[in-house]
Structure 1
Amino acid sequence: MKSPLVIAVPKGRILSEALPLLAAAGIVPEPAFSDEDSRALRFATNRADIDLIRVRAFDVATFVAHGAAQLGIVGSDVLMEFAYAELYAPVDLGIGHCRISVAEPADMAAKDDPRGWSHVRIATKYPGITRRHFEARGVQAECVKLNGAMELAPILGLAPRIVDLVSSGRTLKENGLVEVEPIAEVSSRLVVNRAAFKTRGEVVGLVDAFRAAVAGKAAA
């Protein structure tokens, strides 16, 4: 008997947007999945051949790339940062819309011109994206790796600028920061382990189910 397919889903904001798409694709997690007090990380679904795991957004790509999960839902920011060759991203799910941007304190931005930058020190959890972006402009980027609370870096003198995800911009504003340069638009993608896509026919069926779910959402 084949082991169940494992779909990795991210904790946090994207998950609430992903659940209706999962349901439209015919996948409904067990009740414990919605229990905020539960510490479980792996869950059964209404389908005996599919389990869900709930992990950090950055870890979704790692689980799928290494074959521990066969499919996952992950932001295109994570795919850009890690560029795993083992991942295939066949469906833009049309959720989790935001952008990766450079931000700095408002008083600095008032007299700053990004076109004049030659060297920048930036706090970010995206050092790969950040370096590639600035290298393409001929700017040297010194990256300070942080995993959260990015907005504190300029306030406390760790780095004058940050590169982070921006949605409404409210968090930036409340911390005295403003966007000065967008890097990329972001949305969530269905990702598939390439080997599993070739060897497990049911994976292809799931990709088609997600495509249909996205098309149905767009038509609604």
Structure 2
Amino acid sequence: MLRIALTKGRVEKKFIPLLQRCNIDCQPLIDKQRRLIINLGDQYQIILVKGEDVCTYLRKGAVDLGVVGSDVLEEQGADEQVNELLDLNTGRCQFIVASKSDFDWNQPRRKVIGTKYPNVARRWFASQGEDVEIIKIAGSVELAPLTGLADAIVDLTETGTTLRVNHLVVHDWLDVITSRLVANPVALKQKRDEIFTLTNQLRQAMEEEYDEDLRKVTE
């Protein structure tokens, strides 16, 4: 049985249709109620966790596979600790730098940046040749420039609606974020056949979904 750490919430909801396209009965997952460990037949066991914890479960060998947003992988620097198998191309959003419209980006003083992703923010500003002060925020990052806590934010956006409602404007676009299938390196050796069977099924399901969408556009 493959044990899969699946990020709860948006990533989970986008992943279920892909599993269903692989002819995997996901009803136990859909009807999970408050359960956090769900068996899908005798082949897969889903463990629902927060995105930030997926790589911890993988590194410690508690699970074989993980489904997590690439924002988490980038923030945790997890590329050297887990093996990325597949870009699932779901949960698509983008890192952005945003501020109030009247903020002067050319002022000489050290900028203060609010973010849930301090490592991502620090690396990006360093690539721009800027040393900034980073304030880590767990809640609504958009509040930081509105209250004067920070000059700008680094955050994720899907539609930009929250930014617009809060009168913030995008200064720059960073990486595009999608959900990824990642593996514990040890499990990748010990359960190679099972892991790559599922990976190939998911890849085929993605291709079929793309073909269907293309047909709808051309009809």
Is contact 1:99-1:183 (8 Å) kept? yes
| TM-score under structure 1 length normalisation | 0.87
Deviation at 1:101, TM superposition (A): 0.6
Q: Pick the aligned partner of 1:11 from 8, 11, 14.
A: 8
2:93 is the counterpart of 1:123? no
Show structure 1 runs of 4+ deviating over 6 A: none
- Please say if 1:20 is aligned against 2:11: no
Separation of aligned partners in 1, 2:21 and 2:108: 47
Equivalent in the alignment of 1:87: 82
Q: 1:117 to 1:192 in 2, by over 3 A?
A: farther
**How much does 1:118 deviate?**
6.6
- Is the Cα contact below 8 Å between 1:121 and 1:142 reproduced in 2? yes
Which residue identity is paired with 2:202? F
Matched AA of 2:22: A
Work out the CA distance in 2 between the residues paired with 1:117 and 1:124. 21
Gaps of 5+ in 1: none
Is 2:100 the counterpart of 1:105? yes
| Structure 2 CA distance for aligned equivalents of residues 199 and 53 of structure 1 | 20
> 1: distance between equivalents of 2:188 and 2:69?
20
1:71-116 residue CA offsets vs partner (Å, 9 max, x unmatched)? 12111111111122221112111111110011111232xxx346x6
Structure 2: distance between partners of 1:181 and 1:15:
29
The amino acid across from 1:125 in the alignment is: K
Tell me which residue corresponds to 2:217: none
Quickly say closer, same or farther: Cα 1:117–1:76, change in 2 above 3 A: farther
* Secondary structure in 1 matching 2:150: coil
1:169 alignment counterpart: 160
Q: Check if 1:206 corresponds to 2:203.
A: no
Alpha-carbon distance between aligned partners in 1 of 2:163 and 2:108, rounded to the nearest angstrom: 21
Percent of paired sites with the same residue = 37
Secondary structure of 1:51's partner? strand
State the partner residue of 2:39: 44
Query: TM-score of the superposition, structure 2-length normalised?
Result: 0.88
Deviation at 1:117, TM superposition (A): 6.4
Distance in 1 separating the partners of 2:200 and 2:55: 20
User: In structure 1, what residue type is equivalent to 2:205?
Assistant: A
CA–CA distance in 2 between the matches of 1:207 and 1:141? 40
